[in-house]
Amino acid sequence: MKISRRKFFKIAGVAGGGSILGKVKSALGVEQFTGWPDRVGVLTDLTRCVGCRSCEAACNEINKLPQPKIPFEDQSVLEKERRADADYYTYVNRYPDPKNKGQWIFRKIQCNHCDEPACASACLVKALRKTPEGPVIWNEKVCIGCRYCMTACPFYVPAYEYSNAFSPNVVKCTMCYDARTSQGKVPACVEACPMEVMTFGKRRDLIQAARKRIMDHPDRYVDHIYGENEVGGTCWLYISGVPFEKLGFPTDVGTKPYPEFTRGFLSMVPAVLVVWPALLGGFYLFTKNRERMADEEEEIIPEEKEE
Amino acid sequence: MTTRNTVVAILCLSICLLVSSYAVESKQTSSSGEVPETYTLGRLAKIYQPVEFSHEAHTYITEGCETCHHYSQEGETPSCNECHNSSSAKDLGIADLKEAYHGNCMGCHKKMEMGPTGCNECHAKQTSKAPPVIQTTTKKSSKAGPETLTLNRLEMKYEPVVFSHEMHTLLTEDCAACHHHSTAGETPSCAECHGAPFNPENLNLPGLKGAYHLQCMGCHKEMGAPDGCTECHAKKDSKKSESKEK
């Protein structure tokens, strides 16, 4: 059976395009993921926080972190706005209360445990993982310290062990996954809080509880649950008495899960890597073969003429 | 015949004496006479303070006597050590008394998510002066509840908080200012509603610790009363607590 050059390109084009389109379709299918159904979370009611730093002390103890230079009882630490560090997985910052002059509003910060975490999608070696239970955890044995997760995180959460010269890791809050939450226990910071600022439970129940709290006290809260839709939803939720941008929350993160921004492109990579070399190799062989045959014909034809 | 009788009598008596000398479970029987009110389990009195087991409270909580007095004929409630004792454990392979107590009590406490499950929650260490419970003092003349409440659940870290209930009844106009969300005239204790936190049935109901702090500090802030941590929870002498830990 003879195939013309035109027909070959037609078939090759359809086959190649089809395989790429097929890949795109399956990637779009993943976008329907709305989070693990029974994932747990923590609802943080910022109207209750008094900035006592009990949560920081509890976190320090359970994660066996180094003792801080300034003790946890010392409130002077709050004078400077802090950011995530390898020495503490959670910290409290304070912001001036726009309603009452001279008063402060405290904000407890830690990993928000996104439903579709940007850090995990950016990780080259799968050191970061979203568990079906809710927490986003990291595996220090796998981490190569590339710090891609630090750039990917919309909340600037993962911290780097700059002080560790030989095997530095990226570290962050794990919602006490190994020690507590995987055994059905409450995270250490949640348990330690004297004001019960944080409520632990199933994320869907927490959202209902938060809605009810806002509905029951419309004068006390702004009508927004931070983390319900931010970056596609997070397991750590916040309710507040003042708008979230006043408390340093990033409010420009959107509601689209971060991995989605790269998913379309990244899902094409294997298709391109597999299909294109095969296709181009095929073209190359085809044209080379043709050229060879043409050359051979040319070589034969003069001989025939001579005879 | 008579000698035989006296021998039997002496034997019985000596057994009774032996048993009574070994008896460590003192009963306090309620007026009805049949069901004991409390049991004081004091076998480990050298190490721990005796465990005050409220039999009465547990009869209310359980569905029937057979929940605890299991594997017995209907209507019969043999005491635990009738079956669970050292000899039976050897002969029949059933749990001895210690194992039976812990298995039954802790098993149920865990299952029901009620009641203490930690060692020191039942067995207060002999060295600690007071068991970690809320103690009340009542004036005989007072009709408006207890005079003071001593909150010492965190006594390992802080000095106990002595809450003057009397002073607060004078300050507030109404019992319902604190004893909220209850039927008029009723003043349930805080712990009656505020138990363990994060109840999935009602996530917005604070636990006892949260309820105390939110209620007390909320009002203290409004009224200008002390609201710092150490103003209520005086720190224990650090040197003392360190030496204790050692």
pLDDT tens for each residue of A195-214: 999 999 999 999 999 999 99
Mean pLDDT across chain B? 75
* Structure confidence at residue A90 (pLDDT): 95
Instruction: Decide which of 3.30.70.20, 3.90.1150.10, 1.10.10.10, 3.40.980.10 is the CATH code for A34-256.
Output: 3.30.70.20
Take residue A137 and report the two structure tokens written for it.
């955890």
Least confident residue range of A127-141, A166-180, A196-210, B113-127: B113-127
Q: Rounded to the nearest 5°, which phi and psi values hold at B51?
A: -90, 120
To the question of pTM greater than 0.80 for the whole model, the response is no
Say what the pLDDT of residue A296 is: 87
Nearest to A108 by CA among A223, A194, A215, A1: A194
Burial A4-18 (b: 16+ CB within 10 A, else e): eeeeeeeeeeeebee
- Position B241 scores a pLDDT of 43
Calpha distance A221→B79 (Å, rounded): 56
C-beta contacts of A134-137 below 8 A and 24+ residues apart: A134/A36, A134/A39, A134/A40, A134/A41, A134/A175, A134/A181, A134/A203, A134/A235, A135/A40, A135/A174, A135/A175, A135/A177, A135/A181, A135/A235, A136/A111, A136/A172, A136/A174, A136/A175, A137/A174, A137/A177, A137/A178
Question: 3-state DSSP call for residue B137?
Answer: strand
Q: How far is B197 from chain A (nearest CA, A)?
A: 8
**Residue A40 touches partner B, C-beta closer than 8 Å:** no
A59 in Cβ contact with A88 (< 8 Å): yes
- Measured between alpha carbons, how far is residue A188 from residues A54, A56, A152, A277, B129 in Å? 10, 9, 27, 53, 28
Instruction: Report d(CA A170, CA A123) in Å as an integer.
Output: 11
pLDDT of residue A126: 92
pLDDT of residue A188: 95
Q: What mean pLDDT is predicted for residues B30-56?
A: 72
pLDDT, one tens digit per residue, over A234-263 is: 999 999 999 999 999 999 999 999 998 888
CB contact under 8 A, A202 and B210: no
Strands B135-137 and B51-54: unpaired
Q: What stretch of H or E contains B136?
A: strand B135-137
Measured between beta carbons, the chain A residues lying within 8 angstroms of B213 are 194-196
User: Can you tell me the ipTM of this complex?
Assistant: 0.71
Residue A183 pLDDT exceeds 80? yes
Burial of B181 (0-12, 13-18, 19+ CB in 10 A): exposed
Name the band, by pLDDT with cuts 50, 70 and 90, for residue B131.
very low
Whether the pLDDT of residue B232 is over 70: the answer is: yes
Is the Cβ–Cβ distance between B150 and B160 less than 8 Å? yes
Both tokens of A307, joined, read: 């005879």
**CA proximity to A136, closest of A118, A155, A148, A124:** A118
Give the percent of chain B with pLDDT over 90.
Answer: 6
Least confident window among A146-160, A198-212, A269-283, B224-238: B224-238
Q: Grade residue B15 by pLDDT with cuts at 50, 70 and 90.
A: low
What is the edge-to-edge ordering of all strands in the sheet holding A198-202?
Answer: A198-202, A40-45, A236-239
* Higher pLDDT among residues A302 and A186, named by residue: A186
**What are the chain A neighbours of B227 within 8 Å (beta carbons)?**
50
pLDDT at B189: 86
Structure tokens at A292: 């060879």
Sort out which chain A residues have CB atoms less than 8 A from B194's CB and list them. Answer: none
Query: Per the structure block, which two tokens stand in for A16?
Result: 């190649």
Instruction: Tell me if residue B89 falls in helix, strand or coil.
Output: helix
| Domains of chain A by residue range | 34-256
In this prediction, residues A216-223 reach a mean pLDDT of 94
Instruction: Give the confidence band of B22 by pLDDT, cuts at 50, 70, 90.
Output: very low
Please state the separation of Cα B245 from the chain's center in Å.
Answer: 25
A200 close contact with B: CB closer than 8 A: yes
pLDDT for position B238: 53
Write the residue in A73, A194, A205 that is nearest to B200 by C-beta.
A205
Q: How far apart are CA A91 and CA A60, in angstroms?
A: 10
Q: What is the pLDDT of residue A54?
A: 92
Q: Are A55 and A173 in contact (CB under 8 A)?
A: no
In chain B, which residue's Cα lies nearest the Cα of A207? B203
Shortest Cα distance, chain B CAs vs residue A69, angstroms: 18
Residue A137 in 3-state DSSP?
A: strand
